[in-house]
Structure 1
Amino acid sequence: MDASLEGPVGRQFVRYVTPNVLGMIAMSAYILADTFFIANGVGSDGLAALNFAIVVWTVMQATGLMLGIGGATKFQVFKSQGDADAASRTFSNAVMLALFAAAVYLVAVNLFATPVSYALGADSDTVGLTETYLRVLFGFAPFFLMNNVLLPFVRNDGSPRLAMGGMVLGSMANIALDYLFIMVFGWGMFGAAFATGIAPILSMAVLSVHFLKRRNTFEFVKTLPDVRLMGGFAVLGASSFIVEISGGVVLLIFNLIILSFEGNIGVAAYGIVANIAFVATALFVGTAQGIQPLASHHYAQGDARNLKRVLRYALLTALVISLVLIAVVWALSEPLAAAFNRDDDPRLTALAAEGMRLYFAGYLFAGANIVSAAFFSAVEQPGRGLAISIGRGFVAIVAFVFAFAALFGMVGVWITFPAAEAATACLTAYFLVRFSKAMGCRHAG
């Protein structure tokens, strides 16, 4: 029995979700800091290059989340069942797979950075900037992936505040280093990527306290790679993978369409919208990751009543966050856009401000979709989690974006996200109703 997960569900919800949301805000802030300092230190070409490079970065980030969240979900189930050996083997296999993936990404990006940059939409003005950012950032691939594995394991091992501390320290240091490297040293895109790469190293230094103070109930053990176990937690983490990589897919599709409408200035405007949206999405991802230990624990214990409470609190939290986000963006869209416009280009500000107001309406539905997908994966129903994640991240986006862009131009691009999330919310609602009925029957039984 995990004492850290006992007590009133409301209190445990606050204990796990609050620090994780704050940590995810801080963690996503370093991308926003890159956007701000690149916009003001390099200009609109640098902003467009960053938007191209982030497409590839999301693939690595998605892999880390899949292994970390999926592995930690399996770890929590084994831990709640009292199987310490299986819990440690799960961690060990997650680490091995993360390091293997890191090596693949590091080599592949450094070999193919130039053709990949062109494929992402870069031109003669932006290809060098994009290539530099990718090569430097992926030089830190082992640290990014290991940090993404350690964070959810430490959180599931009863130290959510320490996990938050790691994310906050890494992100705050990244922001300070962005200013130093870009604005003071004048290192441009190299400085931005270098500052971002240092962040996971500092985060892992904080997480090491969990082991140094012997709070850990898991450890790395000598074991052969267990393909079945790896496949199991990869499936459980698949919805997290899809949630993250869908952001990259949306970026790629939107970048290419916007290039045809507005050129690099349009991509720069979308870069402003997308990177502010990364912070917004982090609020929901933070909520989703925060409920995972609670949902997995009560699921393993067969506690249907508390499981439904966790879900109810999560959906209510997502709704409140959505309403606040939409209100803030509608009130501050023009000042936010202007903050990333070094050259005071009126077209850039107008495009970004309009985009924010339309795009962010989608968070009214996105919050419930993201939280529900993670919840289903946490209770070992990855099929439902995957269906929601694939629906919002691939199927719905592709179904709407080309038609809307052809019909409404740039406005059509901006409203694709709200339309896709609203359509997916119908599927989410269906799954939630079925789950509630099943839990009601189980409780009655």
Structure 2
Amino acid sequence: MEEKIKSNPLGIDPVKKLLGQFAIPSIIAMLVSALYNIVDQFFIGNSVGDLGNAATNIAFPLSISCIAISLMFGIGGASAFNLTLGHGDKEKAGYFIGNAVVMMFGLGILLTIISELFLTSMLRFFGSPENVLHYAETYTRITAAGFPFLIVATGGGHLVRADGSPRFTMISNMTGAVINTILDAVFVFGLKWGMAGAAYATIIGQIVSFFMVIWYMRHFKTVKIEKRHLGIHWDCIGQVVSLGAAPFSNQVAMMVVQIVMNNSLKHYGSLSSYGESIPIACAGIISKVGMVFFSFIIGISQGLQPIVSFNYGAGKYSRVKEAYRTAVTYGLVLSIVAFALFQIFPRNIIAVFGNGTEEYFRFAVNYFRIFMFFTFINFVQPITSNFFTAIGKPGRGIFLSLTRQIIFLLPLIIIFPLFIGIDGIMYAGPVADCLAAVVCITMVVNEFRGKEYKLLH
């Protein structure tokens, strides 16, 4: 058993090589996932207009809910799987994979049912203006049918990556996204189906990715996944949930903030020259552009996960520390590039998603430059939060995942506009980013001062 641990590439190959091997496909997979939203935004913006863009932003909390479930059981299952393999218990590891898949699909069905039954009330709660509601209903009623497929396709990708096949995760996501893009062009521009066309294109791409992931589950490399692994074991579920709670909490926090922000933008927009719909439409576009940047950062953090999980489980703490330092170095470089693009070319980026009035572009440019000002330090929180989860310290991971969204951004979104109106929402972003980075840096420095990291393996 000891020989198997020593011979595993995660424990012996150079850390930079491993991080590239796992992070690059993860980044591509995340970019492809972001492409689903970006492509829909592009086609809707250039066919339906700014009300259609606002509608996708109103529906976004439900998409975040799907990602939250997929990350809880995807990252949680992958972390439990790799930690267990690091300890040498191959037999138990298979149950984490099987249980994670069953829970993702089951919760996806539940979310679909709830969404279909209470859709209109939910969309109003999410902050939909009346002139946007019809578009949001049309889009969401269709995409809700694809929630189980989206959740398993996204979360299952993490399980596939944990099995040492990050390229397959990339390929399955790319296949779905390419199908989505082609069908968007056919349904929205060709057949003139508008919001419904974009929605149908989205779920068809998700279904294809779902079946690719399920096929892989029948051909797992490190552990043969059998029917017995699909039976629910609550001790396994508990461990998966604890390890996946940090990324889940981060997504739930994003959803809460999104709902509060939509309602704030609607309220304070109505008191300004912009009106209710323009701020919601612009904020939606910018958040999805931000997802492209975060695809790189989250991809790095996901590529980091199997490396630090295995080596921490195997007691190779110097490799854990080296992997984290390498990840944040790459994150810093990418964040500086993104910051420059967001500050120099905001209007050009916004214009890709359709035309608008001068008021529309004025708000969008200001929001882009101010809200995303601290992009160059935004790599710290996602990487550090996932790092603590990956080494089996989910409590710290959960806390850090909540710092930016719930602890700092949410109260600032409420407080700042009371004094400076809709501009307060813009300035809440960079203040929250800065405070979250400080907390993360403090906690990881204290972690690496622990005696175990001074041991050489």
- Alpha-carbon distance, 1:213 to partner: 5.9
What is the TM-score with the length of structure 2 in the denominator?
0.93
Whole-Å Cα distance in 2 between the matches of residues 42 and 398 of structure 1?
A: 31
Q: 1:3 corresponds to which residue? A: 8
Distance 1:300 1:430, change over 3 A: same
Per the alignment, residue 349 of structure 1 pairs with 361
- Between 1:367-376 and 1:268-277, the stretch displaced more is 268-277
Output the CA distance in 1 between the equivalents of 2:380 and 2:61. Answer: 24
Which of 250, 257, 268 aligns to 2:264? It is: 257
Alignment of 1:370-409 (within 5 A): 370-409=382-421
CA contact (8 A) 1:88 1:221 kept: no
Give the structure 2 partner of residue 288 of structure 1. 301
Q: Is the 8 A contact 1:305 1:443 kept in 2?
A: yes
User: Among 169, 187, 198, which residue is 2:175 paired with?
Assistant: 169
What SS does structure 2 have at the residue aligned with 1:125? helix
Distance of 2:451 and 2:149 partners within structure 1? 40
1:169-318 aligned at under 5 Å gives the runs: 169-207=175-213, 210=216, 215=221, 217-222=223-228, 224-262=231-269, 263-318=276-331
Inter-CA distance 38–374: structure 2 relative to 1 (3 Å threshold): same
Q: Secondary structure at the match of 2:248?
A: helix
Residues 209 and 231 of structure 1, relative CA distance in 2, 3 Å threshold: closer
Spell out the pairing of 1:304-343 with structure 2 (5 A cutoff).
304-342=317-355
Q: 1:197, 1:14 → 2: CA distance? A: 31
2:67 aligns with 61
1:253 is displaced (CA, Å) by: 1.5
How far apart are the structure 2 equivalents of 1:252 and 1:384? 26
- Alignment match of 1:12 (pick from 4, 18, 31): 18
Structure 1 CA distance for aligned equivalents of residues 257 and 374 of structure 2 = 14
**1:360-375 correspondence to structure 2 within 5 Å:** 360-375=372-387
Q: Please give the alpha-carbon distance, in whole angstroms, between the structure 2 residues aligned to 1:141 and 1:421.
A: 30
Contact 1:174 1:196 in 2 (8 A): yes
Deviation at 1:373, TM superposition (A): 0.1
* Contact map agreement 2:73 2:241 (CA 8 A) in 1: yes
Question: Structure 1 residue runs of 4+, over 6 Å off?
Answer: none
Residues 218 and 225, structure 2, Cα contact 8 Å, conserved in 1: no
Q: How many residues are treated as equivalent by the alignment?
A: 444
Supply the distance in 2 between the matched residues of 1:137 and 1:113 (Cα, whole angstroms).
12
Distance 1:367 1:218 in 2: 36
1:79 aligns with 2:79: no
Q: CA deviation at 1:123?
A: 3.1
Contact 1:98–1:146 under 8 Å retained in 2: yes
Residues 133 and 4 (structure 1 numbering): CA distance in 2 closer, same or farther, change over 3 Å? farther
Q: Is the 8 A contact 1:242 1:393 kept in 2?
A: no
Aligned residue in 1 for 2:273: none
Deviates more, 1:370-379 or 1:351-360: 351-360
C-alpha distance 339-115 of structure 1, shift in aligned 2 (>3 A): same
Structure 1 residue 418 corresponds to structure 2 residue 423: no
Distance in 2 separating the partners of 1:273 and 1:42: 18
**Cα-Cα RMSD:** 1.9
CA distance in 1, matches of 2:443, 2:174: 34
Q: Is the 8 A contact 1:88 1:218 kept in 2?
A: yes
* SS in structure 1 of the partner of residue 164 of structure 2: coil
1: CA distance, partners of 2:187 / 2:142: 14
Q: For 2:360, give the aligned amino acid.
A: L
- For structure 1, the residue ranges without an aligned partner over 5 or more in a row are none
Render the CA deviation track for 1:10-48: whole Å, top value 9, x for unaligned. Answer: 111111111111221121111011111111111111111
Q: TM-score, normalised by structure 1?
A: 0.95
